[in-house]
Amino acid sequence: MACKNCAAMPKATRPLSRLSPLLALCLAMAALPAGAEKADRDKPLLFTSDKPSVYTVDGSEGELSGNVIISQGTLRLAADQVKVKLPPDGFQRFFASSTGDKQVEFRQARDTPGEVVVGLADRIEYDTRADTVRLIGRAVMRVLRGALVVNEASSAVLVYDKRSETFIMEPGENAAQASGRNRLMTLPRGAGAAPAGAAASAVPLQPSTSIQPRKGS
Q: Residue length, the chain?
A: 217
Name the pTM for this structure: 0.72
Task: Give residues with Cβ within 8 angstroms of 199, minimum separation 6.
Answer: none
In a domain, 136, yes or no: yes
Half-sphere exposure of 101 (CA within 13 A, CB side): 4
Cβ(142)–Cβ(149) below 8 Å: yes
| Closest to 80 (Cα-Cα) out of 59, 49, 114, 110 | 49
| CATH at 54 | 2.60.450.10
Structural domain harbouring 92: 9-186
pLDDT of residue 24: 38
Residue 82: inside a domain: yes
pLDDT at residue 203, rounded to an integer:
44
- Pick the closest to residue 207 from 190, 177, 187 (CA basis): 187
Q: What is the pLDDT of residue 129?
A: 92
Determine whether 90 is exposed, middle or buried from the number of CB atoms within 10 Å of its CB (0-12, 13-18, 19+): exposed
For residue 200, being part of any structural domain is answered with no
Residue 60 corresponds to which amino acid?
S
Question: Could you state, in chain order, the average pLDDT of each consecutive group of 10 residues for the chain (217 residues)?
Answer: 47 41 39 61 92 86 95 96 91 92 94 93 96 96 95 96 90 92 90 52 46 54
Domain total in the chain: 1
pLDDT for the residue numbered 58: 81
Give the type of residue at 190: G
pLDDT at position 192 is 65
What is the predicted pLDDT for the residue at 144? Answer: 96
The pLDDT value given to residue 214: 59
> What is the distance between the terminal CA atoms of the chain, rounded to a whole angstrom?
25
